[in-house]
């Protein structure tokens, strides 16, 4: 059995399937339900009757697309933020500059789950 430290999230890029479903890398399942190399990671639920039961199907699809974009861009944005913070000198006393450094540091901490 793997330890908590050994378990990793599904590799990217994640991809959007139909009906608010999010899949791993690989070939998506066919419309007739035949499984391919990609597997379902998550599903954003929806209801046909929006007025009564909650999230509309189109909103669900948009939410799933947003999740896929966020996941697929996370590492690049995280690495860029760390690079900017490391490359930017800390001895500049311009208030906007220091606020930008603080905002980047806060975003990095949030991405690290702190």
Cα 92 to Cα 99: distance, rounded to the nearest angstrom: 11
- Give me the pLDDT at residue 48, please: 65
The pTM score is: 0.75
Which residues face 18 on adjacent strands? none
Q: How far is the first Cα of the chain from the last one, in angstroms, to the nearest whole number?
A: 27
Element (H, E) at 83: helix 57-87
pLDDT (tens, 9 = 90+) of the chain, 114 residues, equals: 677 777 888 999 999 988 889 999 999 887 776 777 899 999 988 766 655 556 677 888 888 999 999 999 999 999 999 998 888 777 777 778 888 888 999 999 998 888
């Amino acid at each position: 059995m793997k330890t908590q430290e050994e378990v990793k999230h599904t590799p990217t890029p994640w991809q959007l399937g139909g009906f608010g479903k999010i899949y791993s890398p690989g070939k998506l399942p066919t419309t007739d339900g035949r499984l391919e190399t990609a597997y379902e990671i998550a599903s954003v639920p929806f209801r046909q009757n929006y007025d009564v039961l909650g999230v509309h199907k189109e909103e669900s699809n948009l939410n799933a697309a947003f999740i896929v974009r966020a996941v697929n861009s996370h590492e690049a944005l995280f690495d860029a933020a760390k690079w900017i913070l490391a490359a930017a000198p800390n001895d500049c006393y311009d208030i906007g500059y220091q606020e930008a450094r603080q905002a980047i540091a806060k975003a990095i901490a949030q991405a690290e789950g702190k």
